[in-house]
Structure 1
Amino acid sequence: MGNGKDFNAVISLLSEKFNCLAVDLPGHGNTQVNGTDEFYSLENTANGLICWLEELNIKRCFLVGYSMGGRLALYLALNYSQYFQKVILESASPGLKTEKERTERYLSDLQLAEELEELNLEEFLTCWYDKPLFKTFKTHPNFNTILARRLQNNSTELAKSLRWMGTGNQPPLWDKLSTSEIPLLLLAGELDEKFIKINREMANICSTATLEIVPGCGHNIHVENPQRWVEVVQGFLLS
């Protein structure tokens, strides 16, 4: 539900050593999709980002992705590895393993997309951030500022993103994890038990992956503890 501005705090710290570009994914922030709804899919979004890198003449770079952006970053790392030196995945997953799980999640994503279109966005986000996943994020001092930024999103655009790029519509990447040739940093918050479990399994499968569990944080680490996030990420990138 966020956009590139959510990374402003960590970018201001990282920019002392790195040139940083923050991207709004389709359906989020200021990114506009000129095409059919299929362009919101993970595969088409990945292709669009590669085209964007080529337009900017960026040959190789570091890549960071959070949550949905983390799933996209992993897809890019495994399918376009020549473009990336190292990849950081925050609170991300390789998707769902079984067809049954994907079907159930896809139907759930469709229902959420309908709610996005039918409810007032403020009502929807109030329910969204009541999820246990965001318990620590919701108590953060900057939560209301971030929520106000979320309310600037377009509900219809968010719904398209959820239908096409939601976890239920994502091709599973578990089987490709062992083929990774790029160093991966997996970040999970200490209080985010679901993603700790997922990322531990990822680290066991992928020989190039390192798992870092950040104390006192839930799902949204870069907002909840930007200083520690930067320390860990910068250490990984410079090692």
Structure 2
Amino acid sequence: MEHSIVTVDGQRVAYLDSSPAQAPAGAPPVVLVHGNSSSTRTWLPLLRSGLGSSFRCLALDLPGHGGSEPVRDEAGYSLPRYAALLTGFARELDVSGAVFVGWSLGGQIVLEAAPGLPDARGFAVFGTAPIGTPADMAEAFLPNPAMGALFSDEVSEDEARVVAASFTAPGSPLDLSEFVEDILATDGAARTGLAASAGAGQFADEFAILSALRLPLAVLHGAEEQLINFDYLRGLDFPALWRNAVQVVPGAGHAPHQEAPARFAALLTEFILDVG
């Protein structure tokens, strides 16, 4: 599967497009947004599965990640700028009526962008803890040695392996090499820029977004998650929550799309069909 390039507000963005020969009548496209220090490659198990052959799935590389060029100034690595990029991407490819799916940081971007995507069919996030202020982070995230490297400019290969291991369930047999390669290839300024902007409170009040949201939102969670606090997620209460509960993927950690792709794809397909 080859990358294509689209220019969004002057930023060259690489993306993958599953372009199935046939899709269910009226089925929405699906836009996939990866996490911190990752790339479109993380979505390949889904793009090559029944999900990618049943729906038009588009996965973009965030600036400084994968095949997308870095931003011209570190201030571009922030949730507001990422959200603007996502809405611009949807506009340029004429997929504003899509289901938007975000993993980890990608989930925060989807939430931040939601008010600017009024034609969306729905949103799904996983490995994501909605926050209202920087003070919420201490409760939303579990203590883990990987967190420091995820916001550092320079990351050694050993540190990258620690981060990659935090993406899976403890003791998972999943090959971590692609996670490690993506972490090492990411522009370090993307991590430090994000940390600086988040620490300065440069992000929307996601609780306010959730309270106002009327489009369906699925919140998915790996049962063996090492980074996101499940008790925190279970405490969320907002009107648009799909099935009125966080949906748990057994046997998976922070990256259920990689560890349990068949189960994850089936759950995501149910959501897409529900909102489509």
Provide TM-score, normalisation by structure 2. 0.71
- Report the Cα distance in structure 1 between the residues aligned to 2:82 and 2:225, rounded to whole angstroms: 27
Q: Which residue of 1 aligns with 2:42?
A: 6
Classify the secondary structure of the residue corresponding to 2:219: strand
| Aligned position for 1:198 | 232
Gaps spanning 5+ residues in structure 2: where? Answer: 1-36, 141-146
Task: State the 1:156 CA deviation.
Answer: 3.5
**Matching residue of 1:140:** 173
Contact 2:38–2:183 (8 Å) recurs in 1: yes
- Answer yes or no: is the 8 Å Cα contact 1:189–1:196 preserved in 2: no
Identity %: 23
Partner amino acid, structure 1, of 2:127: S
Larger % of helix: which? 1
Are 1:229 and 2:264 matched, yes or no? Answer: yes
- 5 Å-filtered alignment, 1:1-239, equals 1-13=37-49, 14-77=51-114, 79-95=115-131, 97-98=132-133, 100-101=135-136, 112=148, 116-117=152-153, 119-129=154-164, 133-134=166-167, 136=169, 139-164=172-197, 169-192=202-225, 194-202=228-236, 204-210=237-243, 211-239=246-274
CA distances 1:132-182 after superposition (whole Å, capped 9, x unpaired): x54527633321233234322233443334433579653331133121111
1:63 shift after superposition: 0.6
Distance in 1, matches of 2:174 and 2:64, equals: 26
**Equivalent pairs, count:** 228
What SS class does the counterpart of residue 170 from structure 1 fall into? coil
Deviation per CA, 1:47-70, whole angstroms, max 9, x where unpaired?
A: 122122222222411111000001
Render the CA deviation track for 1:57-108: whole Å, top value 9, x for unaligned: 224111110000011111222x12413111110111212x455456999xxx
Q: Secondary structure at the match of 1:124?
A: helix
Quick one: distance in 2 between partners of 1:49 and 1:104? 27
| Structure 1 SS opposite 2:221 | strand
Give the 3 Å change call, closer, same or farther, for CA 167–142 of structure 1 in structure 2: farther
Higher mean alpha-carbon deviation, 81-90 vs 32-41, is at 32-41
SS in 2 for 1:10: helix
Query: 2:223–2:248: 8 Å Cα contact kept in structure 1?
Result: yes
State the alpha-carbon separation in 2 of the partners of residues 11 and 167 from structure 1: 36
Structure showing greater relative contact order (alpha-carbon pairs closer than 8 Å, 6 or more residues apart):
1
Inter-partner Cα distance in structure 1 for 2:52 and 2:94: 20
- Indicate if the aligned counterparts of 1:91 and 1:187 stay in contact, CA closer than 8 A: yes
Provide the rounded CA distance (Å) in 2 between the counterparts of 1:185 and 1:201. 15
> Following TM superposition, by how much is the alpha carbon of 1:114 offset from its aligned partner in structure 2, in angstroms?
10
How high is the TM-score relative to the length of structure 1?
0.81
- Relative distance call for 1:68 and 1:80 in structure 2 (3 A) is same
CA distance in 2, matches of 1:17, 1:164: 38
* Residues 226 and 166 (structure 1), Cα distance of their counterparts in 2 relative to 1, 3 Å cut: farther
Structure 1 runs not aligned, ≥5 long: 106-110
In structure 2, distance between residues paired with 1:39 and 1:197? 32
Q: Secondary structure at the match of 2:67?
A: coil
1:4 shift after superposition:
1.1
Q: 1:169 to 1:140 in 2, by over 3 A?
A: farther
